[in-house]
Amino acid sequence: MAAVSASMVKELRERTSLGMMECKKALKEADGDIELAIENLRKASGLKAAKKADRTAAEGVVVTRIADDNSYGLVVEVNSETDFAARDEGFLDFVNTVADKAFADKQTDVAVLMSGELENAREALVQKIGENIGVRRVEVLEGDVVDAYTHSNNRIAVLVQVTANNELAKDIAMHVAAVNPQVVNPADMPADMVAKEEDIIKAQPDMAGKPAEIVEKMMGGRIKKFLKENSLVEQSFVKNPEVTVGQLAKESSAEVKSFIRFEVGEGIEVAEVDFAAEVAAQVQASK
C-alpha cells in the first residue's frame, strides 16, 4: 500500500472540501491514487455536498437575536444558491439553529461555530435540497440598549445601539435598513473613502479649468454634502423627514452609538453564466 502523505490529504481536501479523516481514509482505500479516491468519493453521498462548494451561494437570509434586557444583539447571514431554497422550511430551521447557538455562545467566529454538529447538519441539508449552503458571517453588538429590525423578506437585518430607549433603537434600525448609511457620524467616515470621493469630485466636468482655490471651495461643499448623505445622524429620518436621526435621538435624551447592517449577498461576486454555452458544454461532455 502506498504511503498517504499530508500533502496528498491536503490536496484531496481542497478538491473535495471533505474532512481530513474522510480524505485520509479515501486515499488509503485508493492506495494513494487521488483521482481514484475522488471517483470513489463521488459514489458516496458525502461528496454530493462538497462538489457544490464552488457554486456561488449569494441568496439566503439574515436573522437577528436580541437579549431580553436589550444589552446585546446578534445578526447572522446564511446563504443558499437560490431564493427558492432560502424559503425552504428545512433551510430556515437550520438558520435558526445556527443563530440560537451563536447567540447563546456569543460566537462570531464562523469556523468555531460550525465545528461539530452544526457542520454535520449543514452537509445533511445540502444533500437534501441539492444546493450549496454556507454560514457567511456573524456579528454581535453590545451596549446600553440594542435592538433590531429585520426586513419582511429577511434580506436585510440591522442592529442599532443607543444610550437609552429601545423603541428608538428599533425605529433607527428600520431607518438604517431603508437608507443604508455608511457611518454613524461624519467624523467616522474612513479617510480613504473621503479621498476617493475627492478624486471623483475633482474629475467632474464642471471642475475643469477652474482655479485651484475655487476647486477646493466647491469640493469642500460637496464633501460636506457627501458626509451628510452617508452619516446616520445627519440623515433625514425616514418616518419623519422634518428631523434628522440625530435630532430624533436628542429628543429622546439618547445618543446613537453604533449599528451593524447585513444585506443578503452584499459583496459576493456572482459569476455571470452563459446558459446556452453551459448547456452546449454539458451536451459536448456527454458525447
Please tell me whether residues 65 and 157 are part of one structural domain: yes
Q: What string of H, E and C letters represents the secondary structure of 62-123?
A: EEEEECCCCCEEEEEEEEECCHHHHCCHHHHHHHHHHHHHHHHHCCCCHHHHCCCHHHHHHH
- For residue 45, what are the domain limits? 6-54
**How many domains, in total, are found in the chain?**
3
pTM of the predicted model as reported, rounded to 2 decimal places:
0.73
Please tell me whether residues 105 and 30 are part of one structural domain: no
Which CATH number is 126's domain given?
Answer: 3.30.479.20
User: How high is the pLDDT of residue 169?
Assistant: 95
User: How high is the pLDDT of residue 54?
Assistant: 52
Contact 260, 180 (CB under 8 A): no
Which CATH number is 26's domain given?
Answer: 1.10.8.10
pLDDT digits (tens, 9 = 90+) for 82-116: 889 889 999 999 999 999 999 999 999 999 999 88
Residues of the chain with pLDDT under 70: 1, 42-57, 269-287
Please tell me whether residues 15 and 139 are part of one structural domain: no
Please tell me whether residues 65 and 47 are part of one structural domain: no
User: How high is the pLDDT of residue 275?
Assistant: 44
User: How high is the pLDDT of residue 46?
Assistant: 52
Please tell me whether residues 30 and 126 are part of one structural domain: no
User: How high is the pLDDT of residue 56?
Assistant: 64
pLDDT digits (tens, 9 = 90+) for 142-184: 999 999 999 978 999 999 999 988 899 999 999 999 999 999 9
Please tell me whether residues 259 and 131 are part of one structural domain: yes
Contact 227, 201 (CB under 8 A): no
Does 45 map to a domain?
yes
Domain boundary among 38, 54, 70: 54
Does 279 map to a domain?
no
Please tell me whether residues 176 and 222 are part of one structural domain: no
